[in-house]
Structure 1
Amino acid sequence: MNWLLVLVGAAVGAPLRYLTDRAVQSRHDTVFPWGTFAVNIAGSLILGVVTGAVMAGAASSHLQLLLGTGLCGALTTYSTFSYETLRLAETGARLLAIANVAASITASLGAAYLGTAMWS
């Protein structure tokens, strides 16, 4: 049963990541990967909220599997973040690469913290 919850969440998260990435990136005329940045921050916030809710007893571990592991696991993308950052550095946009790393890590951790803090 648990694997089915993860599967369903991932089946929603993966296309949501792709569609969100394309929608966000199409609105920005820059090489900075705003789409990946947006999905990673959103996923971190959702994961923080779900984790906080489970820790507070307001949600079940099944919801954490569905939304946390499945949806957020497919929505967020460390591999694309890494690839896009490497591409920025290789094409001479080293400052943007550094900004992507610093902003992504800071914003993702901050979003996860805020999500869990909602339940304390």
Structure 2
Amino acid sequence: MITAETLMGVLLGSAAGGVARFQVGAWVTQLAGTAFPWGTLVVNVSGTLAAGVLIALWPSDHPTSPGLFALLMLGFLGSYTTVSSFALQTLNLAREGKPVRAAGNLLASGTACLGAAWLGYQLTMLVAPLP
């Protein structure tokens, strides 16, 4: 059953995650330019790194605080990461006749995000292993 605590966590986390995504993406794009979707890549990699940390802290069989998990993982990181933007930007690169950039975005995002989630999990398990 979905609780009011979980719903509030998702609501508040989503608002904060959306603002953070916008700010980080704009900052990275301002620094790196628009020839490649660096802002989206940085957001997705940092978000999946954080998700790896959270997964290490909250194993699925022992949720310690459903409201906090909903705030951070479902709300904040769900809104912060930008898989839909990633997909549309990759498609646009391909449609614009830039297949190498499209493939590069696909490969970089997939590899870096999976690697970041794994790294976040591993680092967290080293620092704060669960019993």
Q: Does the alignment reach a TM-score above 0.5?
A: yes
Match of 1:7 in 2: 11
Aligned: 1:51 with 2:70: no
Alpha-carbon contact 1:53-1:59 (below 8 Å) kept: no
Q: Does 1:61 align with 2:66?
A: yes
| Within-5 A mapping of 1:1-120 | 1-55=5-59, 60-117=65-122, 118-119=124-125, 120=129
Structure index of larger Rg: 2
Worse-superposed segment, 110-119 or 80-89: 110-119
* Cα deviation digits, residues 1-57 of structure 1 (max 9, x gap): 110011111110001101111110111134210000010011101111011111297
| TM norm structure 1 | 0.92
SS of match in other structure, 1:115: helix
Which runs of 5 or more residues in structure 1 are unaligned? none
Q: Secondary structure at the match of 1:41?
A: helix
In 2, distance between residues paired with 1:9 and 1:79?
18
Question: How far apart are 1:94 and its partner, in Å?
Answer: 0.9
SS at match of 1:55: coil
Residue range with higher mean Cα deviation, 56-65 or 1-10: 56-65
Q: Against the structure 1 CA distance between its residues 48 and 15, is the aligned structure 2 distance closer, same or farther, given a 3 Å change threshold?
A: same
Aligned mates of 2:9, 2:63 — CA distance in 1:
18
Identity of aligned residues (%): 38
Q: Give, as a single letter, the amino acid of the residue that structure 2 aligns with 1:20.
A: V
Q: List gaps (5 residues or longer) in structure 2.
A: none
* Paired residue type of 1:6: V
Q: Is the contact between residue 39 and residue 75 of structure 1 (CA under 8 Å) also seen in structure 2?
A: yes
Number of positions where the alignment pairs a residue of Structure 1 with one of Structure 2: 120
